């Protein structure tokens, strides 16, 4: 989240991937960094350790929104 | 009970610090009025004795326990858990006097199970439940400690000889995350019904963080999880390894219990697996404890003679039932393992007491102790 | 700064609890008057900024730090240590923002060295120094935490994502037992003069108790002591083993430093011995961390290729200077080992700041904040 | 210390051996047990782990006072 904010500050398009469980923390960082609208995409929680199939499924679900954010 | 007088609440606080009646942090001044209202909220007579607390052998009356609860910052909602905790630690099997006096760092860890978790002020079982920010956890755990100080007489360096202690000696109270756990409530393993409430208490070290990241594609993931927990249980510094037969607490986060659940293991299975895997080699014991080990092993059931090979392994715990396995904490990479003291006549027995939720009379405005 | 109003101190306390401005325990209400007097005792202007505390990125002004100190129960005597601690944790190398936000249980452990140990309210270094009963330790450690909560914005489950945390997140402050230690003051290893004072801070797990009983007749006793400490440092659950390159604190009791002293070892010798002995086998890492280990080892200097043998050993720490070795605690059988978090951009760097004892003006009656 | 008090309660002569560092704790237990005068002999601290010679020395130093307590 913090990386994404730093990159966005440099004017480089960025999207933070944040799991559901960490969404409030993402909001917190976005607000405290003065960039409340920094683009972020919600992932299910947990992702790590859930296996190849699940990760592929999550990836295909979220890719469109990432592309949308980066091209807008 | 004699009453102290002070010109202001802040003078009173300084006085309590000077008398050694605090833990070093600010307390709510236990005025006669506040204590009387806390007593009322217990539903018991003030002179009812819940037990005797060593090494001072003070009688833990409802009034004295209520005083500790007021000082700790408890609300009346919290008091049923405090009363149960005092009952639990006063059972002879807990060896409270010896535990208060030992040089080991041990502190009573309170685990709250059943509906009391919500009824007694939302005792936290999730993110940061062992840290700051949860009033019920913080003040309930501290009430037990202030009772141990003021009724039991524990003072560092004179009656409490803990070499360093640990910060759980300020407060050490969590709830089980029953709703999201694959295991039945921990209290049911001690004979309580699921809809009853109980506090389970064990003398414990501070938590040891245990890193594990699973892989759903790897069926051996559960083996790795059980192995790393067992290795932490068998850490060569702990008293469990040197004295054996104590109790060990294992608090798993939801991602780790998910691995257990997928493998189809029950709590009893986990206890048995951990007890069987938590071993240390004879060679390591000979290396780290050349004198003490050879003396103690002579008394040990798990006969390891002088002829044993260095590769032979000794079990750290004899009784799998003394491994408390439960879920608490946020979702992520860490399980917490609390080794223990293991000494005292009952060698770190786990105690428990039912929490009575219907004992207190409902009194309008009773939770407003603060005016 | 806007002021809250309340009808009584107890209403104010409830309000602060509800706003999430406490750690869950009672605080001294930071009235304008009390804060002003605490500010005065610092000898600084109220709007001097000591640093910025994430994840809220709040400015740690003297006034806000004084507010945290009042709430924590500090006396003006304690404030120079609190000011130094804030300066230390605000150094970029400490990665305060990341540490506050992590899922690991880490908490800043404050080690106070030099004359400030006595000048700032008798900070305990003996029996039970990490437990209750020592006001200076308890309230100084807690002042840092309340600043991290209220200036830094750490709240469990939203900004502070520690899965469980540990009780040292309430308060975690000890003094070094310099007078009885065979080692020079720990602060001198960071460039301070012996008669200067400093606070040394490292993000730490709760203490892991390490049992050792020596035998003066056995010259190998020191080997056993170093081995058991190294084994606890290399405990397979800790982040140090999985991420490496963090910091580890080793707090030895006087009986254990006596063994070190008899063997003629300096602090640097002990650091080097421990760094060299604290290893874990490749086989164990492959067993407990099948996925993560193979990924991380590719980035690791200590190249362990896929062809490494299971018997090959990996060092837990790369830098012996990141082992903090000091004496504290009562005389007996236990040393305390605190593993650490190891992550963040600076991978658990140790920070320090000088404690200014001549900064505050002497004001008659200044220690009487309590009226 | 507690063992010694329990034994003394049974009317069996007993002496507690208490090291210097634990002397205040011994006093505390003696008082809280209502037997403030329970016999005890002070040892240097530490004794454990200090070697055979030292232990023999301590033993020969304290034996007379133990005998005295038990025969009085």
Helix (H, G, I), strand (E, B) or coil at B209: strand
Mean pLDDT along residues A4-30 = 85
Confidence of residue B223 (pLDDT cuts 50, 70, 90): very high
Q: What is the pLDDT of residue B366?
A: 52
Establish how many alpha carbons lie within 13 A of residue C59's alpha carbon, considering only the half-sphere containing its beta carbon. 8
Mean pLDDT along residues C230-253 = 95
Residue in C closest to D53 by C-alpha: C217
Nearest-Cα distance to chain B for A11, in Å, is 32
Reported ipTM: 0.93
Confidence of residue C361 (pLDDT cuts 50, 70, 90): low
Give which of B273, B138, B168, B144 is closest to C149, Cα–Cα: B138
Q: What is the pLDDT of residue C200?
A: 98
Residue B183 confidence (pLDDT) above 80? yes
Read off the pLDDT of residues A26-72 as tens digits, 9 standing for 90 and up: 888 888 888 888 888 888 888 877 888 888 888 888 888 888 888 87
Q: What is the pLDDT of residue B368?
A: 52
Q: What is the pLDDT of residue C371?
A: 41
Mean pLDDT along residues C182-197 = 98
Supply φ then ψ for residue B297, to 5 degrees: -65, -20
Q: What is the pLDDT of residue A48?
A: 77
- The answer to whether C305 touches B136, Cβ cutoff 8 Å, is no
Q: What is the pLDDT of residue D54?
A: 85
**Tokens 């939770």 found at:** B367
Is C290 near chain A, with CB under 8 Å?
no
Read off the pLDDT of residues C260-304 as tens digits, 9 standing for 90 and up: 999 999 999 999 999 999 999 999 999 999 888 877 666 665 646
Is C346 near chain B, with CB under 8 Å?
no
**Higher pLDDT, residue B297 or C129:** C129
Is this prediction's pTM over 0.90?
yes
Domains in chain C: boundaries: 8-205+345-357, 209-339
- Give D48's contacts in chain B (Cβ within 8 Å): none
Mean pLDDT along residues C218-235 = 95
- Between chain B and chain C, the number of residue pairs with CB atoms below 8 A apart is 378
Nearest-Cα distance to chain A for C288, in Å, is 14
**Tokens 């005025």 found at:** B31
Q: What is the pLDDT of residue B52?
A: 98
Give which of B48, B182, B200 is closest to B113, Cα–Cα: B200
Instruction: Give the ranges where chain D is alpha helix by DSSP (H).
Output: 2-9, 23-32, 52-71
Contact C105 B8 (CB under 8 A): no
A contact test, residue of B128, B214, B216, B333 with most A CBs within 10 A:
B216
Residue in C closest to A28 by C-alpha: C159
Q: What is the pLDDT of residue B361?
A: 55
Strand segments, DSSP code E, in B97-219 are: 107-113, 173-175, 198-204, 208-211
Read off the pLDDT of residues B122-149 as tens digits, 9 standing for 90 and up: 999 999 999 999 999 999 999 999 999 9
Q: Which of C57, C158, C291 sits opposite A24 (nearest CB)?
A: C158
Is D63 near chain B, with CB under 8 Å?
no
Give which of B31, C281, D27 is closest to D1, Cα–Cα: D27
Give which of B81, B61, B72 is closest to B30, Cα–Cα: B72
Read off the pLDDT of residues C331-357 as tens digits, 9 standing for 90 and up: 999 999 999 999 989 999 999 999 999
Task: Please report, for chain C, how many H helices and E strands are present, in that order.
Answer: 13, 12
Q: What is the pLDDT of residue C370?
A: 44
Contact C55 A32 (CB under 8 A): yes
Read off the pLDDT of residues C38-74 as tens digits, 9 standing for 90 and up: 999 999 999 999 999 999 999 999 999 999 999 999 9
Residue C209 confidence (pLDDT) above 80? yes
Question: Rounded to an integer, what distance in angstroms lies between the CA atom of residue B131 and that of residue C148?
Answer: 13
Nearest-Cα distance to chain A for C94, in Å, is 16
Q: What is the pLDDT of residue B77?
A: 97
Residue C369 confidence (pLDDT) above 70? no
Q: What is the pLDDT of residue B214?
A: 86
Is B58 near chain A, with CB under 8 Å?
no
Q: What is the pLDDT of residue B224?
A: 97
Instruction: Give the ranges where chain C is alpha helix by DSSP (H).
Output: 9-18, 32-42, 62-72, 79-89, 96-101, 116-119, 135-150, 221-233, 239-243, 254-262, 267-277, 282-288, 290-296
Helix (H, G, I), strand (E, B) or coil at A40: strand
- Give D21's contacts in chain C (Cβ within 8 Å): 330-331
Percentage of chain B modeled with pLDDT above 90: 86
Contact C332 D54 (CB under 8 A): no
Is D4 near chain B, with CB under 8 Å?
no
C-beta neighbour count of D48 within 10 angstroms: 16
Residue C366, burial from CB neighbour count under 10 angstroms (0-12, 13-18, 19+): middle
Residue C108 confidence (pLDDT) above 50? yes
Q: Which of B17, B130, B167 sits opposite C164 (nearest CB)?
A: B130
Nearest-Cα distance to chain A for C56, in Å, is 5
* β pairing state of B248-252 and B173-175: unpaired
- Give A50's contacts in chain B (Cβ within 8 Å): 216
Question: Rounded to an integer, what distance in angstroms lies between the CA atom of residue C110 and that of residue C93?
Answer: 16
Question: Rounded to an integer, what distance in angstroms lies between the CA atom of residue B239 and that of residue B230?
Answer: 15
- The answer to whether C323 touches C199, Cβ cutoff 8 Å, is no
- Give B54's contacts in chain D (Cβ within 8 Å): 32
Chains in contact with C, counting 3 or more C-beta pairs less than 8 Å apart as contact: A, B, D
Is A20 near chain B, with CB under 8 Å?
no
Confidence of residue C217 (pLDDT cuts 50, 70, 90): confident
Is A31 near chain B, with CB under 8 Å?
no
**pLDDT averaged over every residue in chain B:** 93
- Give B56's contacts in chain D (Cβ within 8 Å): 28, 32
Question: Rounded to an integer, what distance in angstroms lies between the CA atom of residue B42 and that of residue A28?
Answer: 40
Read off the pLDDT of residues B271-322 as tens digits, 9 standing for 90 and up: 999 999 999 999 999 999 988 887 766 666 564 677 789 999 999 998 999 9
Residue in C closest to D52 by C-alpha: C217
Read off the pLDDT of residues D2-55 as tens digits, 9 standing for 90 and up: 777 777 888 888 888 888 888 888 888 888 888 888 888 888 888 877 888 888
Chains in contact with A, counting 3 or more C-beta pairs less than 8 Å apart as contact: B, C
Lowest-confidence pick of A34-43, C204-213, C314-323: A34-43
């Amino acid at each position: 989240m913090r990386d994404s904010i730093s990159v966005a500050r440099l004017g480089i398009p960025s999207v933070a991937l944040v799991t559901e469980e960490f969404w409030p923390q993402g909001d917190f960082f976005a607000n405290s960094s003065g960039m409340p609208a920094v683009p972020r995409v919600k992932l299910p929680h947990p992702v790590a350790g859930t296996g190849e199939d699940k990760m592929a499924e999550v990836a295909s679900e979220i890719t469109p929104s990432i592309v949308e954010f980066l091209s807008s | 009970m004699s009453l102290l007088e002070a010109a202001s609440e802040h003078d009173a606080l300084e006085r309590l610090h000077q008398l050694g009646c605090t833990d070093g942090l600010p307390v709510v001044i236990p005025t006669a009025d506040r204590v009387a209202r806390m007593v009322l909220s217990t539903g018991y007579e003030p002179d009812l004795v819940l037990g005797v607390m060593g090494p001072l052998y003070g009688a833990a009356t409802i009034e004295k326990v209520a005083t500790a609860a007021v000082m700790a910052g408890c609300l009346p909602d919290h008091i049923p858990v405090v009363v149960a905790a005092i009952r639990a630690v006063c059972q002879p099997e807990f060896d409270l006097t010896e535990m208060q006096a030992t040089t080991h760092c041990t502190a009573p860890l309170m685990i709250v199970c059943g509906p009391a978790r919500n009824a007694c002020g939302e005792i936290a079982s999730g993110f940061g439940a062992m840290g700051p920010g949860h009033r019920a956890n913080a003040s309930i755990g501290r009430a037990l400690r202030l009772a141990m100080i003021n009724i039991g007489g524990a003072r560092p360096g004179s009656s409490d000889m803990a070499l360093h202690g640990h910060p759980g000696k300020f407060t050490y109270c969590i709830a089980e995350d029953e709703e999201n756990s694959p295991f039945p409530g921990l209290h049911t393993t001690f004979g309580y019904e699921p809809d009853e409430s109980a506090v389970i208490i064990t003398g414990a070290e501070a938590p040891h963080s245990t890193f594990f990241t699973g892989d759903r594609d790897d069926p051996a993931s559960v083996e790795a999880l059980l192995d790393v927990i067992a290795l932490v249980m068998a850490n060569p510094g702990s008293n469990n390894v040197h004295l054996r037969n104590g109790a060990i607490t294992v608090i798993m986060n939801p991602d780790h219990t998910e691995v257990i659940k997928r493998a189809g293991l029950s709590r009893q299975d986990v206890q048995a697996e951990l007890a069987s895997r938590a071993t240390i080699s004879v060679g390591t014991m000979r290396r780290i404890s050349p004198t003490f080990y050879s003396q103690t092993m002579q008394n040990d059931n798990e006969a390891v003679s002088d002829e044993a090979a260095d590769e032979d392994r000794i079990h750290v715990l004899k009784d799998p039932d003394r491994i408390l396995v439960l879920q608490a904490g946020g979702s992520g990479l860490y399980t917490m393992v609390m080794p223990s003291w293991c000494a005292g006549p009952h060698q770190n027995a786990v105690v428990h007491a039912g929490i009575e939720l219907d004992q207190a009379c409902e009194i309008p405005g009773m939770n407003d102790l603060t005016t």
